[in-house]
Amino acid sequence: MRGGGLLVAGTTSDAGKSVVTAGICRWLVRQGVKVAPFKGQNMSLNSFVTREGAEIGRAQAMQAQAARVEPTALMNPVLLKPGGDRSSQVVLMGKPVGEMSARGYHGGRQQTLFEPVLACLEELRATHDAVICEGAGSPAEINLRRTDIVNMGIARAARLPVVVVGDIDRGGVFAQFFGTTALLAPEDQELVAGYLVNKFRGDVTLLEPGLDMLHGLTGRRTYGVLPYAHGLGIDEEDGLRVSLRGTVRESVVAPPVGADVLRVAVCAVPLMSNFTDVDALAAEPGVIVRFVDRPEELADADLVVVPGTRGTVKALAWLRERGLADTLARRAAEGRPVLGVCGGFQALGEHIEDEVESRAGSVEGLGLLPVRVRFAREKTLARPVGEALGERVEGYEIHHGVAEVLGGEPFLDGCRVGAVWGTHWHGSLESDGFRRAFLREVAAAAGRAFVPAPDTSFGALREEQLDRLGDLIEEHADTDALLRLIEDGAPEGLPFVPPGAP
C-alpha cells in the first residue's frame, strides 16, 4: 500500500474526530503501516511547535505521536487562532501571516489556500502508506461548502473515502447521520462510505435494528460502534468554555503517596490557550485539577495557575472584573503558590505595551513579578531546553510578548518571587523530574504533606492512552473493511440520498 487515505468527518464539532483519527493511526502503525495524520484547516487555541519551529494544532501533534512519526507543518498547513468573536490569526505552514475576519477568510482567502493544502496532503501521501485526514465541524455546513478546504472539498479533490463519526451520547445520532448525507451534493455523497458511532453506552444489540434501518435508508454501512471510554485525557482542540466552570481534568485513579492531596485551580481566562499544560499535573496521583472563574474557588487551592491566552490584556481585565486579581495578590502576599504560563506569566508582570495583539497600548499588569512585556509583531516559536530546580526541562514557546525580567530568582525563561513563578514555556510540566521538584516546592509552600509519586511518567501515560485509542478501533470497528477503504477508496455505486445540497 502506498498513498492510501481516509477522511474522518463528523456530524458535529466534538463528535470525536480527533480521537478516532488518532485511534486509526495507532491501530495502523501497530500493523506495520507507515501512516501520517492530516488536517487541512484547524481552528484551535491549543497549538504545538514542531522541531523545525512551525506552529500546528496540538491535536495533530498528538495524532502524529499516535502514528509514531515526528509532527510537521505538512500535517496542519492552515491553523486559525481565534482572537475574538469575529477574527482569527491565520497561521500558514506554521507561521502567522495576519489577522482576518471570518467574512474575509471565507470570502476569498480560504480558496487561495486550497492548492497549498492539497499539495501538503499529496506530499504526505507520496511518502506514507496511508494518510488519515480529520475533517472540521460538519461536512454538511452548506453555507461554507463553496470555500471548503478541509471536509468534502479536500475529499473530492484527493478522491478520499469518508467515514462520518457521530456522538451517540448526545442523542439524535441516526438523524445526524442521515441528515449529513442527505445535505451533500451527489458528487460528495459518492465518497461517503459509511458511519462510525462514538461514545456508546450499553448493549450494542439494542442499537443494531437502528443501524440496519440506517443502512436501508442510505445504502451505507456502519463501520463500528465505539464504547464510551473514560479517562482518555487526550489533547483537545477547543478551549474550555466558562460554562464548564468547575470542570475537573481527568486523572489517573490512584491514591496520593503522602498524607495529603494537592488542589490545583486553573483560572478559566478568556481565549485560554494550551490548557493542556495542566494535564501533566492531573496525571499525578493525588493532584486534583479544576477550572474556576470565581475568587471563592481559590480559597482551598494549594496552587493557582494562570494559563496561556490569546488575549493577555483581555484576560487581565477579566481577572480584575471577577475579583480574581485581588485574590491572586493576597495569595502572593501570603506566600501561597501561583504559577503563570505564557499569557498568564505576562499578566503577572508589572507592565504591558501591546500594539499588536489587543492594540491597547500601555496596560498595567498585576505586579506580582518584576517583569515588563512588549508585544512584538513577529511571533516567538521555539523548542527550548533548560534546567530548573535542579532538573532538566523541555518546553515550547508560542508568544508575541517579549518579557524583560528585572529581578527575582531565575525560573526557566522567566522568574520567581516567593511562591509566585512565571514562564513562557508551555509543556514544561511534562518533564517528570522537574514536575516532581515543582510539586514538592508547592506542597512545602502550601503546608501540605503531599509527596509526588516517584515513578509517574507522563510520556508513558500518554502512550498508554494512545494505545487505548488503538484498542478501541481494533476491538470495536470492522478493521478489515476500514483497511479496504483506505487502500481502495469508497465503494462504487453508493446510492444518492435526496434532497442533496441545495
Q: Is 342 a catalytic residue?
A: yes
Could you give the CA distance from residue 384 to residue 426 in angstroms, rounded to a whole number? Answer: 10
3-state secondary structure of 144: helix
pLDDT at 358: 87
The alpha-carbon radius of gyration of the chain (Å, integer) is: 23
| Exposed/middle/buried for residue 25 (C-beta within 10 Å: 0-12, 13-18, 19+) | buried
With cell 499588536, the residue in question is: 356
pLDDT at 247: 56
Beta strand segments in 176-239, E: 192-200, 221-227
Q: Is the pLDDT of residue 238 over 80?
A: no
Above pLDDT 90, what percent of the chain?
A: 84
Could you give the CA distance from residue 498 to residue 15 in angstroms, rounded to a whole number? Answer: 24
pLDDT at 430: 96
Give the mean pLDDT of 46-54. Answer: 94
| Active-site hit among 399, 400, 424, 426 | 426
Could you give the CA distance from residue 399 to residue 342 in angstroms, rounded to a whole number? Answer: 7
Q: Is the pLDDT of residue 57 over 90?
A: yes
Phi, psi (deg, nearest 5) at residue 316: -60, -45
Residue pair 262/446 in contact (Cβ under 8 Å)? The answer is yes
CA 295, 366, 427, 228: dihedral to nearest 10 degrees?
20
3-state secondary structure of 44: coil
* Amino acid letter, 110: Q
Give the mean pLDDT of 69-98. Answer: 90
* Amino acid letter, 23: G
pTM given for the model: 0.92
Could you give the CA distance from residue 459 to residue 454 in angstroms, rounded to a whole number? Answer: 14
Phi, psi (deg, nearest 5) at residue 377: -70, -35
Q: Is the pLDDT of residue 327 over 50?
A: yes
Q: Which pLDDT tens digit goes with each residue over 295-322?
A: 999 999 999 999 999 999 999 999 999 9
Residue pair 262/286 in contact (Cβ under 8 Å)? The answer is yes
Contacts of 155 (CB under 8 A, 6+ apart): 7, 9, 133, 139, 161, 162, 188, 191
pLDDT confidence bin for 242, thresholds 50/70/90: very low
Q: Is the pLDDT of residue 62 over 80?
A: yes
Q: Is 426 a catalytic residue?
A: yes
Closest by CA to 326, choosing from 289, 367, 361, is 367
pLDDT at 254: 73
Secondary structure element (H or E) that encloses residue 458, with its range: helix 458-476
Q: Which residues lie across from 49 on neighbouring strands? A: 55
Q: Is the pLDDT of residue 107 over 70?
A: no
pLDDT at 3: 81
pLDDT at 1: 63
With cell 480558496, the residue in question is: 111
Of the candidate ranges 249-258, 261-270, 386-395, the one whose mean pLDDT is the lowest: 249-258
Q: Which pLDDT tens digit goes with each residue over 206-232?
A: 999 999 999 999 999 999 999 998 766
Q: Which pLDDT tens digit goes with each residue over 165-212?
A: 999 999 999 999 999 999 999 999 999 999 999 999 989 999 999 999
**Side-chain-side CA neighbours of residue 358 (13 Å):** 21
β-pairing, 262-267 with 303-306?
parallel
Q: Which pLDDT tens digit goes with each residue over 279-301?
A: 999 999 999 999 999 999 999 99
Q: State the DSSP code for 347.
A: H
Could you give the CA distance from residue 56 to residue 38 in angstroms, rounded to a whole number? Answer: 11
| Active-site hit among 342, 399, 400, 476 | 342
3-state secondary structure of 242: helix
Q: Which pLDDT tens digit goes with each residue over 415-465?
A: 999 999 999 999 999 999 999 999 999 999 999 999 999 999 999 999 999
Residue pair 74/94 in contact (Cβ under 8 Å)? The answer is no
- Residue, of 197 and 242, whose pLDDT is higher: 197
With cell 504526505, the residue in question is: 124
Could you give the CA distance from residue 214 to residue 405 in angstroms, rounded to a whole number? Answer: 62
3-state secondary structure 395-424: CEEEEEEEEEECCCEEECCEEEECCEEEEC
Q: Which residues lie across from 4 on neighbouring strands? A: 130
